[in-house]
Amino acid sequence: MDEVSGRCAILFPHGVLFRKEEAEMRKRLIEADLVECVLGLGPNLFYNSPMEACVVVCRSRKPPQRQGRILFIDAVHEVARERAQSFLKPEHQERILAVYHAFADEPGFARVASREEIAGQAYSLSIPLYVKRTQNGNGARQPAAATLPQLWADWEQSGRAFWQEMDELVVMLDGLLEAEVSDE
């Protein structure tokens, strides 16, 4: 812990942000106004774990403009991947740090929420509750939210496509099996 600012950063798996088992801990930290920032990170950043991780930054002496508020940063897609390992490039680190210092909303990436809003979410710190993604991992805009009939039609179509592909696979495998039998 930083003695001057009373600040610490704790690395957790994402489940700590929303699991029932940690609910009382989250509630006490939020009510005491100790949580300053919740930073979501992408998978495979740590050698011993392929899971997505998060960093919870706590601060016992928040500046007045940050009191009663928590910054959520969704940096899950701010990673580069080489072979089986992911890492944060300098530009990823700079973006995260700039948003942390600004302590302001950035659509699709960061959002400041009040303690009251978080209490209304049963003290869940799950980042998607507060930061609504506007872009996918490749930077392309996601389509607007679909209606239930559209989703149903898409689901039915994907089911039909799946069974057509399965039928083609069975025909191909039958052909291979027949060719093997005729070769014997």
Q: For position 78, what pLDDT does the model report?
A: 83
Q: What is the DSSP-derived secondary structure letter of residue 2?
A: B
Answer yes or no: do 70 and 13 share one domain.
Answer: yes
| Total-model pTM | 0.69
Answer yes or no: do 125 and 161 share one domain.
Answer: no
The answer to whether residue 74 sits within a structural domain is yes
Answer yes or no: do 125 and 150 share one domain.
Answer: no
The answer to whether residue 79 sits within a structural domain is yes
Answer yes or no: do 37 and 108 share one domain.
Answer: yes
Q: What is the DSSP-derived secondary structure letter of residue 51?
A: S
**Structural domain of 73:** 7-129
Q: Report how many domains make up the chain.
A: 2
The answer to whether residue 138 sits within a structural domain is no
What is the average pLDDT across 20-30?
Answer: 93
pLDDT digits (tens, 9 = 90+) for 135-156: 454 443 344 456 777 667 666 6
Answer yes or no: do 115 and 154 share one domain.
Answer: no
The answer to whether residue 135 sits within a structural domain is no
Give the 3-state secondary structure of residue 175: helix
Give the 3-state secondary structure of residue 134: coil
Check if the beta carbon of residue 114 is closer than 8 Å to that of residue 68.
yes
Answer yes or no: do 148 and 112 share one domain.
Answer: no
Confidence of residue 13 (pLDDT cuts 50, 70, 90): confident
The pLDDT mean for the chain works out to: 82
- Least confidently predicted of 50-59, 83-92, 95-104, 175-184: 175-184
Beta strands in the chain (DSSP E): 7-13, 35-41, 53-59, 69-75, 80-82, 85-87, 110-114
CATH of the domain at 24: 3.40.50.150
Answer yes or no: do 39 and 91 share one domain.
Answer: yes
Check if the beta carbon of residue 99 is closer than 8 Å to that of residue 110.
yes
| CA separation for the pair 20, 71 (Å, rounded) | 22
| CA separation for the pair 79, 87 (Å, rounded) | 6
